[in-house]
Amino acid sequence: MPSTRPTRATIDGRAYTDLPEPLHRVGAVLEASSFHPGRTARNHLRIQALAGAVDPGRIDEVLDLVQLTGAAGRRIGGFSLGMRQRLGLATALLADPEILILDEPANGLDPEGVHWLRSLLRGFAAEGGTVLVSSHMLAETAQTVDSVVIIDHGRLIAQEALASLTAHGDLEDAFLELTGRPPVMDTAKEAWK
């Protein structure tokens, strides 16, 4: 099995660990299940605020922003996946960062929640923030993003404006063409022959 060498991502040319007040620069949601199940949402955010030197008054703001005010006193272990996604966003937004890095942020959200998420991310970007979304749900992603980076097996395949990339089809078609994969329908048709 070939070994995988880690890469080092930088923010404005600096390693995350070298950033002064890194939570104020970058908020991230990489896993929606990394919460202590016995803590309440509010206590989780209190600990994060303490660790990130964030004004505790910000807790109520982010709970309201992600629509979890009514669930702030509930234990996270009883949260649905969508509620954990919202709590992850609240955690990422707590220090009012300039950059958000989100992995599959719509996972577990109902259609209303997905619509809310799109509005939240568009609003964050409109205020001057940067959002990096990693997702396999390309049709959904195409409704939110302006620019696309396609990485296939660790290789950069494309980096361009969504409008340019999808000039002759949708984002899924562009991904399949750029990565050399046959469209699923063609593969499925072959299987039935």
Residues spanned by the domain of 69: 21-130
- Indicate whether 186 belongs to any domain: yes
Of the candidates 139, 57, 44, the one whose C-alpha atom is nearest the C-alpha of residue 83 is 44
- Say if residue 160 is in the same domain as residue 192: yes
Residue pLDDT, tens place only, 15-65 = 888 888 888 999 988 876 678 999 999 999 999 999 989 999 999 999 999
- Say if residue 125 is in the same domain as residue 188: no
**Token duo for residue 179:** 């990565």
Average confidence score pLDDT of the chain: 87
- Say if residue 165 is in the same domain as residue 94: no
- Say if residue 47 is in the same domain as residue 110: yes
Which residue, 104, 130, 156, sits at the end of a domain? Answer: 130
Per-residue pLDDT band for 1 (boundaries 50, 70, 90) equals very low
Segment 108-130 mean pLDDT: 93
- Residue 8, pLDDT > 90, answer no
- Indicate whether 9 belongs to any domain: no
- Indicate whether 11 belongs to any domain: no
pTM to 2 decimal places:
0.82
Pairwise pLDDT comparison (190 vs 25), residue with the higher score: 25
- Indicate whether 187 belongs to any domain: yes
- Indicate whether 4 belongs to any domain: no
- Say if residue 164 is in the same domain as residue 70: no
Determine the pLDDT at residue 66.
95
Number of domains in the chain: 2
25 φ/ψ angles, rounded to the nearest 5 degrees: -100, -45
- Say if residue 126 is in the same domain as residue 162: no
26-29 β-sheet, strand order: 26-29, 99-103, 130-134
Residue pLDDT, tens place only, 139-159 = 888 888 889 998 888 888 889
- Indicate whether 69 belongs to any domain: yes
Determine the pLDDT at residue 184.
61
- Indicate whether 170 belongs to any domain: yes
> Which string of DSSP letters, residue by residue, matches 85-130?
HHHHHHHHHTT--SEEEEESTTTT--HHHHHHHHHHHHHHHHTT-E
- Say if residue 50 is in the same domain as residue 86: yes
Q: Which helix (H) or strand (E) holds 24?
A: helix 22-25
Terminal CA-to-CA distance of the chain, rounded, Å?
A: 35
For residue 40, the 8-state DSSP code is B
